[in-house]
Amino acid sequence: MGRIKVAVLFGGRSGEHEVSIMSARSVMRALDAEKYEVIPVGITRQGRWLVGADPLKALESEDLTGTQFAVIFADPSRQGLWADTETQAATNHHLATRESGESTLASLSRVDVVFPVLHGTFGEDGTVQGLLELAGVPYVGGGVLNSALAMDKIAFKDVAKARGLPITDYVWTTRRQWLAEPEAVMDEIERKLGYPVFTKPANLGSSVGICKCHDRAELRQGLDEAARYDRRILAEWAVPDAREIEVSVLGNEEPMASIPGEIIPSREFYDYQAKYLDQGEDASQLLIPAPLDEAMVRQVQHLAVEAYRAIDGAGMARVDFLLSRTTGQLYLNEINTIPGFTSISMYPKLWEASGIPYSRLLDWLIDLALDRHAENARSERVFRPAAK
């Protein structure tokens, strides 16, 4: 057998575009060159797919001159993604010529497995997963339903609540309702939740668009900020004096949980600045393992797996909790189905501390993708009623 062809997808139409690029760089460096042929596929902020040459460099520099674009078609008869390529002209920066792109087309159409490292919207929310299902291509991570449920914070809370999992109180609204009736929306949040509260776009990650609001003026600003990024907006009760506990989950039918870790944010909460930009003495701290007693470790791991199963998790996810220092109560916060994979990301670091190094973790995820694809292939797709 030759090397497994792995197409790594990164970039994308999301507020987490830059984080995705950082994660992809780490993943591609760690994939064993003796086992895998890596095919980098970048996606621009506008949603155009880049193939050939060096898509990673093109997205990092934002210089797309001479880059090959691909129009992607799902074609299960060819078991892959069919690519019609175009080259951007160096002189006038518009699509001037069309090339056959045979080598790129062959690589994409014959790919063995896709590794989406697309954080946020149009990548982690089931959209790309749906494309890959139509194409009949194995891919790393959760499926369409799993991805969509985890990505939408409101839908996830609804499912978690129905399953009896511990979550914080919440109120949600739409951008249209917020713009039409701002005073009524704020009145409802104040009545049901009080202060402080967190405001969030329903579909995004990396703490983009999230604000902690201590009064009505900040609440107005927070709802405006969340409305920039999504048509649905969430307000959550803020857990008093919260500790941020995270667990990595790995597996398909029999998921397992890593040891828990704890984040000590460099700011009031773990926002984008605290996650990715603060450096040196100002950086957030990762405590691995988290300083928890054995009973709490077991509870966190159990709830992480239960939450994973509640949304039909597959491949991987990072499950985040809030633990109140004031009351000792543990709350399920959210699930990330394509967690960060940078050198400082919690998901791979927790598995490394649990005995699975980064490169072995990638092997495991690819094996899980191939296994789930084989299991799905056992389902019959054609029904013909018996003749009378």
**Backbone phi, psi, residue 15, to 5°:** -65, -10
Q: Residue 98 pLDDT > 50, yes or no? A: no
Share of residues in the chain with pLDDT > 90 (%): 67
Q: pLDDT digit string (tens) for 294-342?
A: 999 999 999 999 999 999 999 999 999 999 999 999 999 999 999 999 8
Classify residue 124 by its DSSP letter: S
Higher pLDDT, 121 or 171: 171
Q: Any idea where the domains of the chain sit in the sequence?
A: 4-139, 169-237, 242-376
Query: Average pLDDT, stretch 201-207?
Result: 74
From residue 199, give the alpha-carbon distance in Å to each of 63, 69, 122, 214, 337.
35, 37, 22, 11, 21
- pLDDT band at residue 93, thresholds of 50, 70 and 90? very low
Q: Is the distance from CB of 340 to CB of 23 less than 8 angstroms? A: yes
pLDDT for the residue numbered 335:
96
pLDDT at 311: 96
Average pLDDT, rounded, for the chain: 87
Residue 139 is classified by DSSP as B
Position 116 scores a pLDDT of 96
* pLDDT confidence of residue 64: 81
Q: What is the pLDDT of residue 50?
A: 86
pLDDT of residue 33: 95
The band of 208, judged by pLDDT with boundaries at 50, 70 and 90, is confident
Mean pLDDT of 231-235: 96
List the one residue out of 202, 193, 189, 196 whose CA is nearest residue 228: 202
Going by C-alpha positions, the residue among 134, 87, 124, 105 that lies closest to residue 10 is 124
| Of residues 108, 121, 5, the one with CA closest to residue 50 | 108
Taking residues 134-155, report their average pLDDT: 94
CATH number of 4-139: 3.40.50.20
Q: How many alpha carbons fall within 13 Å on the CB side of residue 2?
A: 7
With 60 as the cut, is the pLDDT of residue 141 above it?
yes
What pLDDT is stored for residue 272 in this prediction? 54
Strand order in the sheet with 49-51: 95-98, 80-88, 68-75, 49-51, 36-43, 4-11, 113-116
Residue 72 has pLDDT above 90, yes or no: no
Q: Is the pLDDT of residue 82 over 70?
A: no
In the chain, the N- to C-terminal Cα span, in Å, equals: 48
Q: Please say if the pLDDT value at position 71 is more than 80.
A: no
pLDDT tens profile 272-286: 555 555 456 666 789
- Write the DSSP assignment of 37-60 as a string of letters: EEEEEEE-TTS-EEESS-HHHHHH
Distance CA 330, CA 364 (A): 30
Distance (Å, whole) CA 361 – CA 115: 13
- Identify whether the C-beta of residue 304 lies closer than 8 Å to the C-beta of residue 143: no
**Average pLDDT for 175-192:** 98
- Model pTM? 0.87
**Could you tell me the pLDDT band of residue 196, with boundaries at 50, 70 and 90?**
very high
Q: Are 328 and 240 in contact (CB under 8 A)?
A: no
Concatenated DSSP letters for 169-216? Answer: -EEEEEHHHHHH-HHHHHHHHHHHT-SSEEEEESB--TTTT-EEESSH
Residue bearing the bigger pLDDT, 270 or 192: 192
What average pLDDT does this structure show over 163-190?
Answer: 98
CB 319 within 8 Å of CB 308: yes
Q: Is the pLDDT confidence value at 83 over 70? A: no
What's residue 207's pLDDT? 67
* Half-sphere exposure for 299 (CA within 13 Å, toward CB): 16
Burial of residue 92 (CB within 10 Å: 0-12, 13-18, 19+) is exposed
Cα(176)–Cα(182) distance, integer angstroms: 10
List alpha helices for 112-152, DSSP H: 127-135, 144-151
- Per-residue pLDDT band at 190 (split at 50, 70, 90): very high
- Partner residues linked to 287 by β-bridges: 262
The predicted structure's pLDDT at residue 269: 55
- Average pLDDT for 78-88: 59
> Which CATH fold topology does 242-376 show?
D-amino Acid Aminotransferase; Chain A, domain 1 (3.30.470)
- State yes or no: pLDDT of 270 exceeds 60: no
Domain 169-237 has CATH 3.40.50.300: no
φ, ψ for residue 284, nearest 5 deg? -65, 155
Confidence tier at 92 by pLDDT (50, 70, 90): very low
Q: What is the reported pLDDT for 174?
A: 97
Residue 104 has pLDDT above 70, yes or no: no
Sheet holding 232-237, edge to edge: 170-174, 232-237, 197-201, 211-213
Going from the C-alpha of 98 to that of each of 111, 118, 293, 311, 383, the distances in angstroms are 23, 28, 62, 43, 42
With 90 as the cut, is the pLDDT of residue 237 above it? Answer: yes
Side chain identity at residue 274, one-letter code = A
Per-residue confidence (pLDDT) for residue 94, from 0 to 100: 28
The yes-or-no verdict on residue 205 having pLDDT over 50 is yes
Q: What is the pLDDT of residue 65?
A: 73
| 336 bridge partner residues | 318
User: Running DSSP on this structure, what letter comes out for residue 104?
Assistant: H
Q: How many residues does the chain have?
A: 388
